[in-house]
Amino acid sequence: MTEAPKGHRFSHVYLERGSPGPDSERFRRRLLSIFWEVHTVNVPLNKAVERELGIAIPYWENFFKGAELRDILDSITILFSTLRRHSYGQNANKWRDEARRIVREENVAYRIDDEAGVHLGVDEEFEHNRASTLRRLGAPRYEAALACFESAHAALDSDHPDGRAAVRHLFDALETVFRLMLGRKVSRLGASEIERHFKPILQEGLTGAARDAAGLMGNSLSDWINAAHQYRHAQGVETTEPMPLDLAILMVSTGAGFLRWLVDLDEHSSAGAVKTP
């Protein structure tokens, strides 16, 4: 029987954390507690935040409990830089490090860099998928696809994550590699092109379960393409609904897997036979 880790809180060892969320009351309350530990009357912290964010902060308790999430996240960076600028480096570092710990322990979907900038963090698997896809796109042949892939993550890794833009850019990365594979045979990436041109490549030389599985994976790529089209085309409405962040993360993560698959096929499979110079 594996021995439980010593000295860890019960909730950190035994409770199911689930997927990271964007916000929580505990996250905000704990930030407020740490704020009072690093706050100093010698630095006009409220004026710095008000100047940068254009909001009033008569009471810090009200700010941390009721401010918009964007302002809470921005304040992490502003408070750090203001404390450090006024030669309170120890307080600044404590604020950053404790904010990092709170983000991790409260399972909110961010990461904090060394300068206390807040970024969309999601989880370790998402970051692993991102890093492994970047490595697969390192060859000069995939330079255009790499630019699209990086733009997809930049759309998520911003003060106001844009899932719609992230999916559009990732689709462009997939379409770029798809057209590299098939050359003049295709002019776009669509479900019909998957059925007509891609699935025969997947299933070439395969029999039985392997052939069936390859075909079903081709169908999964078609489903992803059709889902992406919901956010690639104009919606015909006056106000565009924002894409739910959890859905954007799922689609970007899944799309990155398909992108690595296409690159691998492009480099190593018999798809090379259909390339045109």
d(CA 204, CA 211): 8
The residues, ordered by sequence, that sit 6+ positions from 120 with a Cβ below 8 Å of its Cβ are 109, 110, 111, 156, 157, 158, 161
Q: Per the domain annotation, does 6 fall within a domain?
A: no
Which domain covers residue 82, as residue numbers? Answer: 21-120
Same-domain status, 112 and 157: no
Per-residue confidence (pLDDT) for residue 162, from 0 to 100: 87
Q: Give the pLDDT score at 274.
A: 44
Q: Verify that 138 and 246 share a domain, yes or no.
A: yes
Asked if 229 and 254 sit in the same domain, the reply is yes
Same-domain pairing of 91 and 156: no
* Domain count within the chain: 2
What is the pLDDT at residue 136? Answer: 85
Q: What is the pLDDT of residue 275?
A: 44
Q: Tell me the residue length of the chain.
A: 277
Q: Would the pTM count as exceeding 0.75?
A: no
183 and 213 both lie in a single domain = yes
Q: What is the pLDDT of residue 87?
A: 93
Say whether both 250 and 138 belong to one domain.
Answer: yes
Q: What is the pLDDT of residue 2?
A: 54
Where the chain has pLDDT below 70, the residues are: 1-5, 8-21, 121-125, 158-159, 233-240, 269-277
Identify the pLDDT of residue 148.
Answer: 95
Residue 66 CB contacts under 8 Å (≥ 6 apart), including other chains: none
Identify the pLDDT of residue 267.
86
